[in-house]
Structure 1
Amino acid sequence: MTDTTRPDPARAAAPERLKLALYSSRPAPADLGIGQVHFPEEHVVGVAPGTSAKVLRERCEASMVRHGYDRSPTMRTRLEEELRVVSTLGWPTYFL
């Protein structure tokens, strides 16, 4: 037999659970920023404003020398292509 004098905790929580279900079923905001670049700002990665592409190039070229790839025309061409794409997309800080 059930005790009807004490409220059922599950039943008491039902309105809150219903509110939560309704809130979580709402559509997401229309603008999620899709198509925009969301990478760290230049000051976060430690470079001066407007210099991230230049700094990335310098670091890549130094690494090419360190690994001996700077003597390969194929590798230099590939680096130029990759840096052009990264710069065009606005992603230099992602790679820094």
Structure 2
Amino acid sequence: MKRRRASFFCDAANVRRALRKITEDAKIGTGWLPRELRHSFVSIMSGQGVPLEIIADLVGHAGTSVTEAVYRQQLRPVITKSAHTMDTVFGDSRRAESE
């Protein structure tokens, strides 16, 4: 009889166990959590200028409000850069008001 490969039931404990094995084999430590991968993904996508709506969709959020609330720190640099870009394009209204 041919031996069948054991199935991998995808629950939280199995995901953490698999990630621990992967990070151990990669010699980068075993203290990683799956949510850190998710946060890294959002940071990378945000840093590359991917629109918030796309990021929200890719991480499985129905809208952008949860993405904004949970990943505020990862999104802040992109929002700040966008604000600076708007100032460059349209002029800094704060400077105009103070003159």
TM-score range with shorter-chain normalisation? 0.3 to 0.5
Q: More helix by proportion, 1 or 2?
A: 2
